[in-house]
Amino acid sequence: MQGNLFVMQLFIEGTLTGDVTRRFSLPVGATLIGANAGCDNATSFILDVGNAADADAYIDAATITGAASTTTDIASSDLVDGEPMHIAANTEIVITVDYDGGAGTDGAGINVDLFFREG
């Protein structure tokens, strides 16, 4: 049962040659409760998630590696405040992928899932 949980996904196919920024907003208030991210084997990237005023307000410099093509979980305790973070309705949410800032070769096959709870 999904209840009041929902996921926002970002998928970038291919190998990156520059940083990528994606922006979106939600029409209702929501609480970021965690994330999951991954990339192709032997590639990596750095993930920041924030808002228009502070691009790393929610997730700050999380290194995501594609070791054995696994994913990296970012729990509520790993968020900037160490707990779920409320985001007001219509706040511009910014996802930034630093393509060459991780521990492997340039990020490729990048997937980011942000987990939210309504309210």
Residue 77 lies in a domain: yes
What is the full DSSP assignment across 77-117? GGSTTSS-EEE-TTPPEEEEEETTSSSSEEPEEEEEEEEEE
Residue 1: predicted pLDDT: 43
Phi-psi region of 100 (alpha: psi -120 to 50; beta: other; left: phi over 0): alpha
Residue 65: predicted pLDDT: 86
**Confidence at 105, pLDDT banded by 50, 70, 90:** confident
Residue 34 lies in a domain: yes
Residue 60 lies in a domain: yes
Residue 9 lies in a domain: no
pLDDT digits (tens, 9 = 90+) for 78-104: 999 999 999 999 999 999 999 887 666
In this prediction the pTM is 0.92
Residue 89 lies in a domain: yes
The single residue listed with the structure tokens 């899932």 is 113
Number of domains in the chain: 1
Residue 78 lies in a domain: yes
Range of the structural domain that residue 31 is part of: 20-105
